[in-house]
Amino acid sequence: MYHFAPPASSQAQVETDAAVETASDDTFGTRVHDYLVANPETLLDVQTALQQKQAERQQQAASAALAENQDKLYQPAFDAEFGNPEGAITVVEFFDYNCGYCRRALSDMDDIIAANEDVRFVLKEIPVLGPDSEAAEKVSYAFLKIAPEKYEDFHRALMGSGTRANDASARAVANALGVDDAAIDAAMEQFPAEEALSAHFALASAIGVNGTPAYIIGDRLISGAVGADVLQETIDNVRDCGKSVCS
């Protein structure tokens, strides 16, 4: 097969151009290196910008997932509701009774409810901290079915107990509120918690919840115990412009 060979002069020019390009690349790389050594804070700026862009992408993905799961979030089949049941603004909280941050955040919910007559809290339990949490959830769910009018008292007592939540401690709270073990056992058999657990974990996975506490307000997923001020600011924005961040 015939292969075209460029004239010697053309080949020499190609080699010269390649050498110049390599030299330019080396010079550019050296300049970048020297600049970064002289200005290391630039790396922090780049890292911050990258983290911000990643956070924005995660929030965009979460917002899309929230839009796809409206019914499961706001028309709960398995959940307790605090605050105004007809409230125009809903805060969804994912929690675990053994989550220390969730326990400290209980007062945040109280502050929000006290300051906002149009806010409804929907509580979704995801027992992520082991068998004790799952056992407490089963008692909690049974209690909700037996005495929904007393569930807020149950929730506050177990969340604020200062001891580890498990089957025994959850039953003790239920007993103190007038629900005995026989009633709990019967409710567990009649209303097994597995369906609620499966629904909650599937929803949490779909919208990007990976820990507790986590809040959904409008189009925003808020991870962690961020405090009442952050929750209130987001609520105010949703009230004012229908979004978690107003332009």
Q: Determine, yes or no, domain membership for 12.
A: yes
Rounded distance, CA 186 to CA 77, Å?
A: 20
Q: Count of domains in the chain? A: 2
Rounded distance, CA 230 to CA 234, Å?
A: 6
pLDDT in tens, the chain (247 residues): 434 444 445 544 444 444 445 556 668 778 877 877 888 888 788 888 888 887 777 777 777 888 888 888 888 788 999 999 999 999 999 999 999 999 999 999 999 999 999 999 999 999 999 999 999 999 999 999 999 999 999 999 999 988 999 999 999 999 999 999 999 999 999 999 999 999 999 999 999 898 999 999 999 999 999 999 999 999 999 999 998 889 8
Degrees (nearest 5) of the Cα angle 81, 85, 89? 95
Which run of H or E residues covers position 100? helix 100-104
Range of the domain at 221: 70-241
Shared-domain flag, residues 55 and 126: no
CATH number of domain containing 203: 3.40.30.10
Q: 3-class DSSP state for residue 131? A: helix
Shared-domain flag, residues 109 and 38: no
| Other residues' Cβ atoms within 10 Å of the Cβ of residue 157 | 17
Shared-domain flag, residues 60 and 17: yes
Q: CA quadruple 63, 65, 67, 70: dihedral positive or negative?
A: negative
Q: Determine, yes or no, domain membership for 114.
A: yes
pTM for the full predicted model: 0.76
Q: Determine, yes or no, domain membership for 139.
A: yes
Q: Determine, yes or no, domain membership for 120.
A: yes
